[in-house]
Amino acid sequence: MNANSSFQPDRPAFLVDAPDLWRWLSSLFAFLVIVAAWSIVAETLSRDLLPGPIMIVRRICEGWQTDPMITVVSGQPAGLGFHTWQTALRFLRYLSGGLVLGCLLLFLACLHKRSARIMRLLTRLANPIPPLLLLPIIYAAGCPTAALEWTGGIFYPALAVISLGLGTLDDTVSSLEFLMKQAGAGPLWITAHVRWPAVETALLPALKSHGAFTLGLTIVVEWMLAPNGLGRVMKYALSFNSGTLLLSAVMLVVLVATAYEMLIQVFITVRLRWKANAHAF
């Protein structure tokens, strides 16, 4: 028995040294419990009120290439597959655009303390603003729909990256930076070897929660502005009062979120060499 055995939860012996397998099995068990509860409630109620999971899966398979309800409303032949792909692409554009913008501004803050002070002031002013509140404000200002959609999508990821990064910079040990300066290191070297690694360690695990919120923001933007995507499909479903189509779109959003979480976990495991700390997040 090792020194850390008292801190291990009760689990089979072959899973003690396999945290990845234990985590995936736990997630699979939770998913099966949710599906079982959904099936029981669907059988208890009327299918018009709550379609069962088998009916939803059948609707997704039948309407993947072309869905008649979507075709009637949109005026062009399209299915759930097309709208799922558009949502995934739009979500990645928003998230990557916000990350690139936030990281560039954050790297500038790492280089210059004056820039960091200015960004702290701006983030304190912007943090209380709900991300979706910008959409009607920009729309009232007369901006084009594409600019409005892009601004509303990348606002939250960029703000989250800057806020979290600035907080990490505040926690960076100043004595280490002082020793580096005494050894003749410049601002760029200190940023690349001291400040930015600390920021990256905090940012990567947080991409899970920030990505989930950005996906929800993407659905709302599609509902309000975009001509396609699962958010638009949900709007179509409500116009037809179709619970089956609505739940199909919700299930596809969950699948997109699950795929993103799996990919980001692989990236975190590869990028952060200390896997135990990476999984702790």
83 residue type, one letter: H
pLDDT at 32: 80
- Express each pLDDT in 187-240 by its tens digit: 777 777 777 777 777 788 788 888 888 898 889 888 877 888 899 999 988 888
Tokens of 212: 């989930």
Tokens of 248: 């199909």
Tokens of 124: 């304190």
Q: How many domains does the chain have?
A: 1
Determine the Cα angle at 244 with ends 239 and 249, to 5°. 80
Range of the domain at 145: 89-217+256-280
Tell me whether residue 51 is in a domain: no
Residue with the larger pLDDT of the pair 226 and 142? 226
- Tokens at 79, concatenated: 């299915």
| Inside any domain, residue 224 | no
The answer as to whether 29 is a domain residue is no
The closest alpha carbon to 249, from 81, 101, 122, 89, belongs to 81
Question: Which position has the token pair 């100043």?
Answer: 174
How many other C-beta atoms are found inside a 10 Å radius of the C-beta of residue 162?
25
Q: What is the mean pLDDT of residues 258-273?
A: 80
Longest dimension (CA), the chain: 74
The fraction of the chain above a pLDDT of 90, given in percent, is: 7
Query: Is residue 129 included in any domain, yes or no?
Result: yes
Q: Does 226 map to a domain?
A: no
223 within some domain: no
- Cα separation, 260 vs 95, whole angstroms: 11
Asked whether residue 101 carries a pLDDT value surpassing 50, the answer given is: yes
140 lies in some domain: yes
**DSSP codes, 252-266:** HHHHHHHHHHHHHHH
For the record, the structure tokens of 175 come out as 């004595």
In a domain, 128, yes or no: yes
Phi then psi dihedrals of residue 127, to 5 deg? -60, -40
Q: What is the mean pLDDT of residues 149-173?
A: 76
Tokens 């002070």 belong to residue: 117
